[in-house]
Amino acid sequence: MSSQKAEKNSEFARPILGHFIDGKLVNAEGRTSEVFNPATGQVTKAVALAGRETYEMASSAAKRAFPGWRNTPPQKRAQVMFTFKKLLEAHADELCATITSEHGKVLDDARGELGRGIEVVEYACGISELLKGEFSKNAGPGIDSWSEFQPLGVVAGITPFNFPVMVPMWMFPLAIACGNTFILKPSERDPSASILMAQLLSEAGLPDGVFNVVNGDKETVDLILEDQSVQAVSFVGSTPIAEAIYRKGTEYGKRVQALGGAKNHAVVMPDADIDNAVNALMGAAYGSCGERCMAISVAVCVGEKVGDQVVKNLESRVKALRIGPGEDTSNDMGPLITLDAYNRIHSYVERGLEQGAELIVDGRGFKIGGNEAGFFVGGFLFDKVKKEMEIYTDEIFGPVLCVVRVETLGQAMELINEHEFGNGTCIFTRDGETARYFTDNIHVGMVGVNVALPVPVASQSFGGWKRSLFGDLYVYGPDAIRFYTRRKTMTQRWPASDKTEQAKFAFPSGGS
């Protein structure tokens, strides 16, 4: 298979995807990285990796555009978002095909991703209501006080490969609707969808420079973090990188929200509807080839009988997974994103076996006729997993489900609460008291009851606890409005023109 290093391959001609800066495509020369079709394992294009000169073009464009966009009435900003929503729907097939060709996920999954992103755009259409401040008449004698929420300026988003449309739309629609200008650095693995969204925003009437896409790698990320013009950075990715971005960004005085890794547990209680629980686990563990930060990667079975039944039901279902190119909508699971991901999954499977886990379903050696070079694996199912094993402690980010057996709900919750990650979790039960106790006492940011993927709707906010989130505010929803704005409070008084007041040396209070 071809190398995936960020270097220019001169052996054959290939298109090079550039950047979108100040309302137009910019075809920058210099370093490039290969973009693969994961289903074939073949290079389809190269993407430019921005250096300082290209990045500064984007930063300057965003700075120039900010004053005019800041002073654009929120209702006009909302109209742009509404038109953008309609264009996203009109170009849904093109966007989803782009996602599938570069990420590998099945088309139906791509449509679901786009739909959840559009929900955030819909929420941003209500920005006039969301930006309303507060007013207090006669806060003191003849004194009125009010607050408003003002945009920060230039803000940036750094997004991962696994949701090339949805995760950027967790960020830029609300940032832009609040009056900021935006620089997006998408994953270099699947960058084309971001360029298409930028073009649609421009078609929707967004002024030049308000939204810019700069493709790149770590060098580009460092330029964003060091740029004094950038006031805030949103990031989604692995925990080590999230923590590094949070530390460096805050050192440079920026607001940072950095969402990191996950190890999401599903607790299956003895009273659960096992068939429905297994169906939910299949989609949550193996959908998108497990490359989701909300994927369920651990099933915690309470009681040996439950464990036996869950493993038996899962085994037949995992073996029956329909796996193939994402363009075929009859498939359940497509390929992994890269050869590196393929090798990493196999390495973890080997370590799981070495450390004593029982491999019930082995997805190694999976090949598809005509796509032998694709990054395909089958589903993996481990039983008898212990908490000290690496397949339990680490985020694998692949189609690997681990079954852990415990005797009580308390032991299940102890496992979850002790884990370094606290992104998502769920419980399958018919008992309301059990569900209420679990949701109230579990140390995780997003919790489902008989819902395996408890991703909040756009009017809520998305984020985890512990080492799954660095920063104080979640993405999208109400938290995003606070993240992308600053509160300003005004206090005003108009003394009578025919009266001279005496100086007062006591600290003022509301009653005087």
CA distance 287 to 291: 8
Q: What is the dihedral of CA 82, 120, 329, 162, to 10 degrees?
A: 130
3-class DSSP state for residue 475? Answer: strand
Give the residues across from 329 on adjacent strands: none
Sign of CA dihedral 33, 39, 41, 43: negative
DSSP string over 173-242? HHHHHTT-EEEEE--TTS-HHHHHHHHHHHHTTPPTTSEEE----HHHHHHHHH-TTEEEEEEES-HHHH
CA distance 430 to 270: 9
- CB burial readout 323-341, b (16+ within 10 A) else e: bbbbeeeebbbbbbbbbeb
CA contacts within 13 A on the Cβ side of 156: 30
- E strand or H helix that includes residue 59: helix 52-70
Burial (CB count <10 Å: 0-12, 13-18, 19+), residue 343: exposed
For strands 255-259 and 469-470, give the pairing: antiparallel
Contact criterion met (CB below 8 Å) for 484 and 478: no
CA distance 80 to 385: 51
Decide if 293 is catalytic.
Answer: yes
| Identified catalytic residue from 96, 125, 289, 293 | 293
CA distance 120 to 136: 31
What contacts 75, CB < 8 A, 6 or more positions away?
128
For strands 380-383 and 24-26, give the pairing: unpaired
Active-site amino acid positions: 293
